[in-house]
Chains A and B, each alone.
Chain A
Amino acid sequence: MLKDITLGQYFPGDTVVHRLDPRTKLILTVVYIVALFTANTWLGYALVLAALLSVAALGRIPPKAMLRGMKPLVFIIVFTGILNLFFTAADDVIFQWRFIKITGTGLRNAVSMILRVLLLVSGTFLLTYTTSPLAITDGMERLLTPLKRLRVPVYELSLMMSIALRFIPTLIEETDRIMSAQKARGADMETGSLIQRAKALLPLLIPLFVSAFRRADELATAMECRCYNGGEGRTRMKTLHMERRDLIAFLLGAALLAGVIALRRLGI
């Protein structure tokens, strides 16, 4: 059961979108979000949606996967919709029944908020669908390098992230093993009230934590044996290179932003 957990939602692939430098994708995700929040006309939203769909198509992301990602958001979307629909104060009433009042502005606000949430989430999903967690960590580290001047331990943070990612499968395997061991001794983890089940987790969590600490200790020693002494003076085997496709991606991103701004100015 635990084996089914997938980390992030990376869809391995070899499309143009996958091959883009992770830094490019991170920056363009930010550009996309800015464009999305700059847009305030239907045509603007349409432009953002068109950008999203074309990237998804280029990255060969199955539409089903995009929709599945939305599932946990249904509640937020419905909630935002209802709030905007019923509680927008305006005069252009289009429907009234007792105290329930729907205004034209409210309707427009509701639809545009829902659109924004959907576009925002699916945009960031595109990043995680087409970029492995490791590449994202790597890209983040390099983008944040200037912060080293402010004594932000950028390298150490990214190393922590990648070690955490590295140990997730190991710890999941271990959890499975401890679970079987406790079940073999008659532990019941699947029935009873919520509180009982939470209590039943203790004999699972305690050995897991003890072993995680022991692993951390051994890993630290092994790292010291391999001459680790912080990010200072470190080199990298793989250096990221910006290619022509990255330049093209940046130009397209800039075009999207410019288009949205122009539409906002023109008000159409």
Chain B
Amino acid sequence: MKPFISLENITFSYPDAARPALDGVTLDIYPGSFVAVLGANGSGKSTLAKHLNAILLPTSGRVLVDGMDTASPENLIPIRRRVGMVFQNPDNQIVANVVEDDVAFAPENLGVEPAEIRRRVDDALNAVGMSAFAMHAPHLLSGGQKQRIAIAGVLAMRPQVLVLDEPTAMLDPRGRREVMDTVEALCREQGITVVLITHHMEEAARADRVVVMAKGKPVMDGAPRTIFPRAGELRALQLDVPGATELVRGLNAAGMTLPADILTPAECAAAISEALQC
């Protein structure tokens, strides 16, 4: 399959920084996949995200989105239309005083016909389950609801890729679940490619593929079931493993023989009850 986004050996340094934030990243993102990018603070994961829709341009190497080089200014709008980005703080992404006007912002910028904008706004709000709040004032909504509005605001561009830069970092557990369920549904049901930057292992466990960043480079890359059992390596990178995986490791160390590639509490419970019945 042809990758939708490919990063070709890119490096990037912030002005006056001692070491580059990205140091030779080569990565392909395939259409329809759900990729989680993990990494400790300062590992370059947010910098990486900002390269995917030309917010930042690589110092060397190149980024191709749907075959377009992010370095050419004339590709800017077509690239941003294809790759939508959602940030950490929902308050700082909402432009308008009414939810539906905010969702309409991007298609209005793109010069879409009013009737088509209406359709896209309704579809986007529907996709994030916020249709009932179309006429509400954003500042009266909860954090999780605001973040879903921010996602709808990006979906109204009809992007192929959704990049989310720690979208749940400022949310309570309930808001986090709302946002993650929405994101996963967008990927599984609508076929939107998702790139999720996170430091929550439970969120990363829901992806198809996990990329672990350290010191500006991807150091591990694979399915969650192959990455998380490598707890020692992850811990050396100041990362945890999901709670269920951690429990299985502890039980195995104490003499049980459970499969090591367990990710969710449900799987863990099933494996333990099966082991106890024998």
Residues of A at the B interface (CB closer than 8 Å) are 134, 162-163, 165-166, 169-170, 173, 215, 218-219, 221-229, 233-239
Contacts and interface: CB of A to CB of B under 8 A. Distances in A.
Nearest to A219: B92
A223 B153 CA distance: 10
B97 A134 contact: yes
Interface residues of B, number: 40
B12 interface: no
Contacts of B106: 226-227
B89 A218 contact: yes
B92 A226 contact: no
Contacts of A165: 97
A132 to B, nearest CB: 8
A171 to B, nearest CB: 10
A23 to B, nearest CB: 18
B169 interface: no
Interface in B128-187: 137-139, 150, 153-154, 157
Closest 10 pairs (CB-CB, A-B): A226-B106, A218-B92, A222-B93, A237-B104, A237-B117, A169-B139, A225-B85, A227-B109, A233-B111, A166-B97
Given A170-B139, A225-B154, A236 B108 contact: yes
Nearest to A216: B92
A227 B110 contact: yes
Contacts of B93: 218-219, 222
B114 interface: yes
A235 B89 contact: no
Contacts of B87: 218, 221-222
Contacts of A228: 105, 109
A221 B86 CA distance: 10
Interface stretch (B36-44, B76-84, B243-251): B76-84
A215 B91 contact: yes
Given A225-B80, A226-B153, A235 B113 contact: yes
Contacts of B113: 235
Contacts of A222: 85, 87, 92-93, 95, 150
Contacts of A226: 80, 84, 105-106, 109, 153-154, 157
Contacts of A238: 101, 104, 114
A233 B112 CA distance: 9
B98 A134 contact: yes
Given A226-B105, A234-B109, A235-B114, 10 more contacts: A162-B96, A166-B94, A166-B96, A221-B55, A224-B55, A226-B109, A226-B154, A229-B109, A236-B108, A236-B114
Contacts of B100: 237
B74 to A, nearest CB: 12
Contact of A235 (B108, B137, B154, B157): B108
B200 interface: no
A89 B97 CA distance: 54
B101 A237 contact: yes
Nearest to A225: B85
A224 B97 contact: no
Given A237-B101, A239-B114, A215 B80 contact: no
A226 B150 CA distance: 10
B27 to A, nearest CB: 20
